[in-house]
Structure 1
């Protein structure tokens, strides 16, 4: 379960980067190392998301950004690594629920996130959807 937690949090970090919000704070650069490890292990995404999937991704991304903003101070305030891990796991569970509520699996969300990071046109479409711009139609 821990591997999927970090995989999802890495995707959440990438999603947060889309919104321009600061990354979720984790101890000793752990998130950065995990994100780099995921990128090195994962092959380039073959996914070409539909407009509906992109809309769901944009919606979930906005909600996840709120969770990241909510939990960042809690992680920073945690005194021990164990306490930080507990807060991260709580945030992860909340983010998983939000993604599923928007009709995506975690794997779909992560795959779309990778595709968006690698394709500037997809990224622009998602950003337009997030802001309710013309790309949302």
Structure 2
């Protein structure tokens, strides 16, 4: 689950949301904090996510992980050239966004499912069944 959370964080950043704290927690092996009860309704309910959307999410998530893996080495190889490394990160984010769109989901919906899955074990299980 840790790798997926890091991948999701990268996509959250690509969509303009803050995933830095989540990525730091995941890298440290910590679980994300529980969402306050008032924050959950803004995300919707996991039961509102259709089986088709779960399948599309699982497909997109797998592609996002592959893209992240491809670019990880490229970014590390260019770590001594910050501008080049940043460009590689931008390219990776663009490819991840495109992978989500190619799966038939909007980035907003992908992020919604990813956020719900952090707090809903039933939704996580549904996603795992699709992998």
Q: Per the shorter chain, which TM-score range?
A: 0.5 to 0.7
Q: Is the 8 Å Cα contact of residues 58 and 129 (structure 1) preserved in structure 2? A: yes
- What does 1:1-137 align with in structure 2 at a 5 Å threshold? 14=5, 16=7, 32-33=20-21, 35=23, 43-44=39-40, 45-47=43-45, 48-78=48-78, 79-130=80-131
TM-score relative to the length of structure 2: 0.68
Please report the RMSD computed on the Cα atoms of aligned residues, expressed in angstroms. Answer: 2.9
| Long gaps (5+) in structure 2 | 11-18, 25-32
Q: What's 1:9 paired with? A: none
TM-score relative to the length of structure 1: 0.65
Q: Is the 8 Å Cα contact of residues 15 and 61 (structure 1) preserved in structure 2? A: no
Q: Figure out how many residues of one structure are paired with residues of the other and give that number.
A: 105
Runs (4 or more) in structure 1 with deviation over 3 Å come to 31-36
How far does the alpha carbon of each residue in 1:40-98 deviate from its partner, in whole angstroms, 9 at most, with x for none? Answer: 9xx43224311111100000011111101101111111123322211111001111111
